[in-house]
Structure 1
Amino acid sequence: MDITSFILSILSWLAPLIVIGIIVLVIVSKVRSASQKYLGMSPSQAMELINKGVKEEATTPKGITALSEMYGPAITRDFPEIGYKGMEVKARNAIVAILNAIMNKNAESLKASEYTQDLINKVNNRITTLNANNEKEIFNNIKIHRCGIASYQNKSKEATARFEISLQYEYAKVSEEKADSAKPALMQTAYSVTLAYKQDLHEQTTSIVFSSNCPNCGAPIDASAKGKKCPYCGSGITEIADRIWLVNDFNLVK
């Protein structure tokens, strides 16, 4: 092969690479030009800004609806046995317990004396899905930033209080085999936790119905009754002291 043929052979191999190189340079130039034109910064500056935004997203607590000043006094008035602060503590403890139950795949850790069967079933269903996919959800180092009540209803035979909770944790969803070596990432989230008051718990569609009865005549007494006497037979009754608020639901808000 003479020198001319050799050079032509080399050029035939280099030509596609040269074309690709030119295309890449053109694309980079256009990206740089567009970034400067529309963002007023270079691509490296834009990327730095994006990375900064991602970091802030992982460290900035989520906002929540907190109407404690509106509903707190009403709750304490209607249910002095537990009061608003007691309900808030219950909501805070509940979200931590629920996330740990999911991570440990142990819905049985949620006691029936504190959680409704609907909620326990909801956690069980999530665990069942994880097992079916051979996956594990990790919630490490849970930290609550803020908790506030978003809504409260106390009707004749129904009482519910929905709290929103801003929290952070280190999260990962991985296969069971990789769970021990997983490196969870810091995440900011907000959950709602609904508490439901019950004497005798019954389910009607999506509502929780509560009732109690006079120990003498058996007549129904309103959940919010404050009287010391049965309105039907007049028998003296002790104001209901064993009022129980069960954790009825939880949902990821954002």
Structure 2
Amino acid sequence: MSSDVIRTLKWVFGKGGLIEEYKRQEQMLEETPKSVASMTRIFAPQISRDFPGMNLEQFEALAQQQLVAALQAVSAGNLESVARASDELKEQVSRQIEGNRAAGVRETYEQIRIHQTEISNYEKKNGTCVITFQSAVEHYHYKEKAGKIIWGYKDRKLQTKYNMELLYVQDAAQQTEGNAFGLNCPNCGAPMKGLGQQICEYCGSPVVPVDTRVWRMVRFSEVDYHHV
């Protein structure tokens, strides 16, 4: 074996070699929070003009609290932690729980930690205003089936990002079937024709009209993750 080959092997398997460097990179990725899309300085003044006196820090805290509650609900397999959330958010969490149950999967989120939250978008359309917050989140996230891990790791943290959308209805008259934001029957999931509809035309169950006077978190989505 040539001296060049020997030197290469020593470098690869030595303390300063590729293996040690790979381990360092793994550790760095596991501990480094994701960067969020910060548009707060642009959108905060616009929101303040549209809603004078609005405390954005309170709504940021609301978005963070409800995100954690939603992930905890998925882990618990029930809606207890989101009992006071919007119908839209409960419906999303319920679909995730039922999907896991149907597949025989247990999905777990543990040690959830939010590093940073910023406004990433603000949009007005169809009589609604939507603020999107984006958070850099750290947690353990894995899925088990028949006692085996089928996705993720129990012993490795996941650094990821979530979007949380908060909705306010400015003009309920514009909320009609086809342009409404997430209007579905909370009982059967059928589309609703308007915010004031009291009875579902599909299943006949009573529906509590949407309160158009408050901001509510209606959706969350994971936008980036890296398992190391």
Q: What TM-score, normalized to structure 2? A: 0.69
Larger Rg: 1
Q: Among the aligned pairs, what percent are the same residue?
A: 24
Q: 2:68 aligns with which of 96, 101, 110?
A: 96
Amino acid at match of 1:192: N
Look up the equivalent residue of 1:168 and give its one-letter code: E
Structure 1 spans left out of the alignment, 5+ residues: 1-25, 211-241
SS of residue paired to 1:185: coil
CA distances 1:76-109 after superposition (whole Å, capped 9, x unpaired): 3322354322221111112111111111111353
- Residue 50 of structure 1: aligned partner: 22
| Cα drift, residue 188 of structure 1 | 0.8
The C-alpha deviation readout for 1:155-200, integer Å capped at 9, x for no partner, is 5722001111001012221136569xx9442111111111111365
* Whole-angstrom CA distance in 1 between matches of 2:12 and 2:74: 44
- Matched pairs, number: 188
Match of 1:151 in 2: 121
Query: 1:189 — aligned with what?
Result: 160
CA contact (8 A) 1:137 1:174 kept: yes
Q: Deviations over 1:130-154 (max 9, x none)?
A: 1122221221111110000111023
In terms of mean alpha carbon deviation, does 73-82 or 47-56 score higher? 73-82
1:63 match: secondary structure:
coil
- 5 Å matches for 1:1-16? none
Matching of residues 69-108 of structure 1 within 5 Å: 69-80=41-52, 82-108=54-80
Alignment check: 8 A CA contact 2:126 2:180 kept: no
State whether residues 72 and 81 of structure 2, in contact with CA within 8 Å, keep that contact through their aligned partners in structure 1: no
Structure 2 contact 110–140 (Cα < 8 Å) conserved: yes
Checking the alignment, whether the CA contact within 8 Å between 2:133 and 2:164 is kept in structure 1 is yes
Find the partner of 1:208 among 169, 178, 181. 181
Distance 1:59 1:196, change over 3 A: same
After superposition, residues 119-158 of structure 1 pair within 5 angstroms as 119-155=89-125, 157-158=127-128
Query: Residue in 2 aligned with 1:244?
Result: 214
Q: What CA distance in whole angstroms lies between the structure 1 residues aligned with 2:182 and 2:128? A: 5
Match of 1:170 in 2: 140
The 3 A distance-change label for structure 1 pair 209 and 76 is farther
Q: Contact conserved, 1:195 with 1:248, CA < 8 A, in 2?
A: yes
SS across alignment from 1:51? helix
- d(CA) in 1 for partners of 2:179, 2:76: 28
SS at match of 2:70: helix
Equivalent pair of 1:198/1:246 in contact (CA under 8 Å) = no
**Which blocks of at least 5 consecutive residues in structure 2 are unaligned?**
184-211
- Residues 77 and 83, structure 1, Cα contact 8 Å, conserved in 2: no
Going from structure 1 to structure 2, the CA distance change for 1:116 and 1:78 (only over 3 Å counts) comes to farther
Structure 1 pair 150–43 and aligned structure 2 pair: CA distance change class (3 A): same
Q: Which residue of 2 aligns with 1:62?
A: 34
* DSSP 3-state at the match of 2:215: strand
Asked whether the 8 Å contact 1:116–1:247 carries over to 2, the reply is no
CA RMSD of aligned residues (A): 3.4
Which piece of structure 1 moves more, 128-137 or 79-88? 79-88
CA distance in 2, matches of 1:81, 1:205: 32
- What secondary structure is seen at the aligned counterpart in 2 of 1:161? strand
Give, as a single letter, the amino acid of the residue that structure 2 aligns with 1:88: E
